[in-house]
Amino acid sequence: MSIKIGLLGFGTVASGIPFLLKENGEKVLAASRDQLKIAKVLVKDDEEKNRLIAAGNDYNFVTNVDEILNDDEIQIVVELMGRIEPARTFITKVLEAGKNVVSANKDLIATHGKELISLAQDKGVAFYYEAAVAGGIPILRTLANSLTSDKVTRILGVLNGTSNFMMTKMVDEGWSYEDALKTAQELGYAESDPTNDVEGIDAAYKAVILSQFGFGATIDFDDVTHKGITNISTDDVAVAQELGYVIKLVGDVREVESGISAEVSPTFLPKNHPLASVNDVMNAVFVESIGIGESMYYGPGAGQKPTATSVLADIIRIARRLSDGNVGKPFNEFRRDLPLANPADVKSNYYFALDTPDEKGKILHLSEIFNSEDISFEQVLQQKANGTTARIVVITHAMSKTQLKAVTEKLEAAEDFTVVNTLKVLSN
Tell me the pLDDT tens digit for each residue of 325-362: 888 888 999 999 999 999 999 999 999 999 999 888 88
- Pairing verdict, β 259-270 and 418-425: parallel
Domain check: are 14 and 102 in the same one? yes
Q: In 3-state terms, what secondary structure has residue 52?
A: helix
Domain check: are 170 and 208 in the same one? yes
Q: What is the pLDDT of residues 244-256, one digit of tens each?
A: 999 999 999 999 9
What distance in Å separates the CA atoms of residue 167 and residue 174, rounded to the nearest whole number?
Answer: 10
What distance in Å separates the CA atoms of residue 220 and residue 205, rounded to the nearest whole number?
Answer: 9
Domain check: are 308 and 287 in the same one? no
- Give me the CATH number covering residue 110: 3.40.50.720
Torsion angles phi and psi, residue 163, rounded to 5: -65, -35
Q: In 3-state terms, what secondary structure has residue 149?
A: coil
Domain check: are 158 and 130 in the same one? no
Domain check: are 269 and 179 in the same one? yes
Q: What is the pLDDT of residues 54-64, one digit of tens each?
A: 888 889 999 99
Domain check: are 211 and 195 in the same one? yes
- Give the mean model confidence (pLDDT) for residues 402-423: 96
Give the helix/strand (H/E) hosting 424: strand 418-425
CB 362 within 8 A of CB 394: no
CB 84 within 8 A of CB 111: yes
CB 322 within 8 A of CB 3: yes
Residue 338 lies inside a defined structural domain of this protein: no
Domain check: are 125 and 261 in the same one? no
Q: In 3-state terms, what secondary structure has residue 336?
A: coil
The one catalytic residue in 40, 106, 169, 206 is: 206
What distance in Å separates the CA atoms of residue 243 and residue 393, rounded to the nearest whole number?
Answer: 10
What distance in Å separates the CA atoms of residue 233 and residue 274, rounded to the nearest whole number?
Answer: 24
- Give me the CATH number covering residue 145: 3.30.360.10
Cα separations in angstroms, 34 against 37, 103, 390: 9, 21, 70
206 is annotated as an active-site residue:
yes
Residue 340 lies inside a defined structural domain of this protein: no
Note down the domain range covering 160.
139-300
Q: Which residues pair with 35 in a beta bridge?
A: 2
Domain check: are 83 and 207 in the same one? no
CB 212 within 8 A of CB 337: no
Domain check: are 94 and 185 in the same one? no
Q: What is the 8-class DSSP label of residue 292? A: S
Q: What is the pLDDT of residues 191-234, one digit of tens each?
A: 889 999 999 999 999 999 999 999 999 899 999 999 999 999 99
* Entry pTM: 0.93
> Using CA atoms in the order 154, 346, 428, 372, what is the torsion angle rounded to 10 degrees?
180
Q: Is the pLDDT of residue 401 over 90?
A: yes
| Pick from 384, 189, 168, 406: nearest CA to 278 | 168
Residue 366 lies inside a defined structural domain of this protein: yes
Cα separations in angstroms, 417 against 192, 366, 411: 36, 8, 6
Domain check: are 146 and 295 in the same one? yes
Please state the domain count of the chain.
3
Q: Is the pLDDT of residue 51 over 90?
A: yes
Domain check: are 74 and 101 in the same one? yes
- Give the mean model confidence (pLDDT) for residues 17-27: 90
pLDDT at 343: 97
Give the helix/strand (H/E) hosting 68: helix 66-69
362-371 and 401-413 helices, crossing angle to 10°: 140
Domain check: are 281 and 205 in the same one? yes
Q: How confident is the model at residue 383 (pLDDT cuts 50, 70, 90)?
A: confident
Q: What is the 8-class DSSP label of residue 145? A: I
